[in-house]
Structure 1
């Protein structure tokens, strides 16, 4: 029980990384939620002293390696998103889960705009509106991930 308590944040981030790279059919893949961003967002708001910009940066490096993108693209986007949450976590904790879902949508949009911007600078890819579908799926998934991770945090007394 003690080991799970200490490693539960890392385990949840690893599960999110696996969910981020699981192959999906092309028709469904454009709606893939930002699993890593959602999990990092929860832990940033719940435990800002343990999960911060440094954790987001290292997780972004892992995502770059797993997805085969240029090194640092996801690190920059995740770091900016988590920094925004860290700077406002005390205010965001007081919102209802549904209000937080809207905030997660805004953070996810920021994440995707930064990803697009950096990739556009590197490769010149054009912007497509379908690029923002994960924002909607991340917003819809937030309440369930929030409740699941909060239950795990309370059950294992993580603080």
Structure 2
């Protein structure tokens, strides 16, 4: 029914955007995982010909609008992270899920450091260790998100 039209991919990305802006208690908000990055990386590994750097840039731009940050900051960081995945998708696919989780952690750290660097360049932002807390939760959640999205992809026969 939805096999090749990308509706399910769009829906998963929309859910990731909603999870990125859902209110959380302040004590836990610093650990909010990079939902959009995780979902984009999965789809780039699964379907590198359909989900690419342009998709990542658009999702990052939408995230900029939703978070109220300077336009292009998250878009640039997201596109750079997804570029690394798209270039190396065949290598990353061959790793186990836990090894992939560590790679996703490095990508998440790189994403946050690029966002910090761009915000530092554009405004007066001070680096705090809190910027890298989401890396921990992103690493922990990757295997579960990977298995869930793989099940969704196989159920709807998305190719």
1:85-137 superposed Cα distances (whole Å, 9 cap, x missing partner): 00000000000000000000000000000000000111121111121000010
Pair 1:124-2:89 in alignment: no
Paired residue for 2:22?
A: 22
CA–CA distance in structure 2, aligned partners of residues 91 and 5 of structure 1 = 27
CA–CA distance in structure 2, aligned partners of residues 151 and 137 of structure 1 = 21
1:2-22 superposed Cα distances (whole Å, 9 cap, x missing partner): 379630111000000000000
CA–CA distance in structure 1, aligned partners of residues 41 and 5 of structure 2 = 19
Give the alignment of 1:142-153 within 5 angstroms. Answer: 142-153=142-153
The root-mean-square deviation of aligned C-alpha atoms, in Å, is 1.1
Which consecutive unaligned segments of at least 5 residues does structure 2 have? none
CA–CA distance in structure 1, aligned partners of residues 32 and 92 of structure 2 = 24
TM-score norm. by structure 2 comes to 0.97
Paired residue for 1:54?
A: 54
CA–CA distance in structure 2, aligned partners of residues 3 and 38 of structure 1 = 22
Paired residue for 2:31?
A: 31
Paired residue for 1:110?
A: 110
Q: CA offset at residue 72 of structure 1?
A: 0.3
Paired residue for 1:12?
A: 12
Pair 1:136-2:133 in alignment: no
TM-score norm. by structure 1 comes to 0.97
Which consecutive unaligned segments of at least 5 residues does structure 1 have? none
Q: CA offset at residue 52 of structure 1?
A: 0.4
Q: Please tell me whether the aligned partners of residues 44 and 51 of structure 1 are also in contact (alpha carbons under 8 angstroms).
A: yes
Q: Please tell me whether the aligned partners of residues 3 and 156 of structure 2 are also in contact (alpha carbons under 8 angstroms).
A: no
